[in-house]
Structure 1
Amino acid sequence: MSEYFNQGQRQLQETFETMPLADRLQAGIIAPEINPLDAEFIEAQNMFFLATVDDKGQANCSYKGGQKGLVKVVDPTTLAFPIYDGNGMFMSAGNVLVNGQVGLLFVDFNKQARVRVNGVASITQNDPLLSHWPEAVLVVRVAVRETFPNCPRYIHKMALVEESAFVPKAQCATPDAPWKKLEIVADVLPPKDAHLASNEQDVLAAINRN
């Protein structure tokens, strides 16, 4: 019997009579490193979902967006990606500092395909790859524990309309985030953003929720 699955997973596999199937899939598709096909898939994406865990075991999931090549496959057992300017809370990056366990989900909605990567992350301000991504403030490296493709059955087919104008690009000025002009944060902006302080009131408009 495989030791890969935990007690809860085994309990449900037994309940729904899927244990032999689970064992076959675990042996056949879950790998300890990234193969060339998956590396090409990962580096072709302009976004991914990142799951992190804090020091209390509480999970957090974030959307990370950029240009194609947002995540770099350094080698078959290492991924790297940037942390850009955000809302100052550093939820994902802070979790990495106290608990490196991460899960990354890459989805190509046009092709209706996905790849999962789980591993242990580390983070630094002086990584040699920092200059690879314009305006990156940190670089996260992930030591791959496992990677595997996933059933595409429930992936909705969608096409990209346009990339966000706020994605940092080389030799291109990045627009300021509208929420930084809200009065509610005017007196607590970091020094680099202090010049943006204003008296805008519409919070929902600033985060596209209006």
Structure 2
Amino acid sequence: MRDENFYNSGARRIQAALGTRQVADHIAANYVADSLDRAAAALVGRADCFYLATADSRGFPDCSYKGGLPGFVRVPAPGLLRFPSYDGNGMFRSLGNVLENPHVGLLFIDYEKPIKLRINGTARVSTEDRLLASFPEADAVVEVEVRQVFENCPRYLHDVRHGAYSTYVPRPNRVTPEPEWKLKPEYEGLVRLRDS
């Protein structure tokens, strides 16, 4: 993806300070898309939950968990996804934020692969009968126009099925192993390895 706005000035400053701009540019150019490919759409379609980040008109953030049966998030087109808003506590913080500030971030996690999929986009809240009819018991439906899709390094994901911590989480008196992606030829010269 050649989106000049993928990294803001703050990201650029910390990349410069920590020497990661080359690898960050490589990732943005090769692994960030503006729509969901077949694999990303399949991951979203089989998810039973995700995390939704929103912000109000003043920029104050909020993050919420959204859950349902697999298939509750739908991808009707590569650049569009929909999910229902089910009955909750009536606060509607996420939907209220979307009405004030439509920019959202969604995080999907597949612990078995493991994969972390990040989707950023522009959302709108709908109470149209045609959309509500396809999501039983939904109060509203959120449509997200996808702007950016990218996998995020999953190395710090814990194995929740077996109750084991990630091997990549630093521990006292042990050298943490390098993640496999850093050892791929495409990253040679772009990342600093611990033993170099």
TM-score range normalised by the length of the shorter chain: 0.7 to 0.9
1:186-197 pair list within 5 angstroms: none
Question: 1:129 offset after TM fit, Å?
Answer: 2.6
* Structure 1 runs (4+) greater than 3 angstroms displaced: none
Say whether 1:29 aligns with 2:28. no
Larger Rg: 1
What does residue 96 of structure 2 align with?
94
Whether contact under 8 Å (1:111, 1:157) holds in the other structure is no
* 11 and 124 in structure 1: CA distance in 2 versus 1, 3 angstrom threshold: same
* 127 and 59 in structure 1: CA distance in 2 versus 1, 3 angstrom threshold: farther
Give the root-mean-square deviation of aligned CA atoms. 1.6
Question: 1:11 offset after TM fit, Å?
Answer: 0.7
Question: 1:2 offset after TM fit, Å?
Answer: 7.2
Q: So what's the TM-score if we normalise by structure 2?
A: 0.78
Question: 1:111 offset after TM fit, Å?
Answer: 2.5
CA distance in 1, matches of 2:9, 2:20: 14
* 67 and 26 in structure 1: CA distance in 2 versus 1, 3 angstrom threshold: same
Residue segments in structure 1 that go unaligned for 5+ positions in a row:
161-210
CA distance in 2, matches of 1:158, 1:58: 30
Higher RCO (CA < 8 A, seq sep 6+): 2
What does the per-residue CA deviation read over 1:77-133, in whole Å, with 9 as the maximum and x for residues that have no partner? 000000000111100011111110000000012332111100000011115231222
**Letter in structure 2 aligned against 1:3:** E
CA distance in 1, matches of 2:4, 2:128: 38
Question: 1:74 offset after TM fit, Å?
Answer: 1.2
**Among the aligned pairs, what percent are the same residue?**
45
CA distance in 2, matches of 1:2, 1:146: 9
1:39-188 pair list within 5 angstroms: 39-126=41-128, 128-159=130-161
Aligned residues: 160
Whether contact under 8 Å (1:110, 1:158) holds in the other structure is no
Q: Secondary structure at 1:137's aligned position in 2?
A: strand
* 23 and 17 in structure 1: CA distance in 2 versus 1, 3 angstrom threshold: same
Q: So what's the TM-score if we normalise by structure 1?
A: 0.73
* 45 and 104 in structure 1: CA distance in 2 versus 1, 3 angstrom threshold: same
What does residue 12 of structure 1 align with?
14
Q: Secondary structure at 1:129's aligned position in 2?
A: helix
**Letter in structure 2 aligned against 1:28:** N
CA distance in 2, matches of 1:86, 1:40: 27
Residue segments in structure 2 that go unaligned for 5+ positions in a row:
163-196
